[in-house]
Amino acid sequence: MIYPIDIHTHHRPVHPGRAIVNCFPETFDPQPQEYYSVGIHPWRAGNSFRETDEQVRLLTEVAHHPQVIAIGEAGLDKLTDAPLSVQLAAFEYQARLAMETGKPLIIHLVKAADELLKVKKELRPQNPWIIHGFRGKAAVAQMFLQHGFYLSYGEKYQPESLWTTPVERLLLETDESTVPIETLYEQAATLRHIPLNELTETIGQNIRHLFFTR
């Protein structure tokens, strides 16, 4: 079985199955041997939760699809135009759907840490919550790690944050970047002063545990 090494991308991988491709509910078109995350991005939440009705309906339909191995990216973003109350409603819906399906939740987060932690405390999820594209400082990383989150790093990040993230909570992704995922693994291994094959194997174990053990 082929497992992904890139947990979040908006590009189809060169080799099928080597990445989790993110898409919107209405653009989900599963291809053979590919893996997907599907969600309602906070940038698309609209001015009222009713505006997301069609996205919610479609997401509910595809959430149980065997090639959908994660829900999201869902999230909270205080720099976008959608009202935070609408974003929270959409996020909580997706968080509950991820809990129901037992699939990881991929999270987009911008300047809304307190709100995110409040929702997590209220829902008490047993499924993994992953903050994707993490760029925060090491102290912020440690705060999220203490609350049980996994952190996924892309092309841009604070080196100290990646260096201090326990490898069993560490993931890598390309997101919208065109940098090959293999390059990000090489850079992370160099930063952490460990052999590339050791980092690759450990993150591979994380991925198999998070996405393939239901």
CATH number at residue 173: 3.20.20.140
Percent of the chain with pLDDT over 90: 90
Cis peptide bond upstream of 73, omega within 30: yes
Any domain includes 173 = yes
What range defines the domain where residue 113 resides? Answer: 6-211
Quick one: pLDDT at residue 11? 94
Q: For the chain, what percent of residues have pLDDT higher than 70? A: 99
Structural domain total, the chain: 1
pLDDT tens for 97-121 read 999 999 999 999 999 999 999 999 9
Q: Quick one: how many helices (H) and strands (E) in the chain?
A: 7, 8
> Is position 49 within any domain?
yes
Residue 47 has pLDDT above 80, yes or no: no
In a domain, 89, yes or no: yes
Is 137 contained in some domain?
Answer: yes
Residue 205, φ and ψ in degrees, nearest 5: -65, -40
19 phi and psi, to 5 degrees?
A: -150, 155
Residue 1 lies in a domain: no
Conformational region of residue 8, where left means phi above 0, alpha means psi within -120 to 50, and beta covers everything else: beta
Q: Is residue 83 part of a domain?
A: yes
Rg (CA), the chain: 16
- Residue 85 within any structural domain of the chain: yes
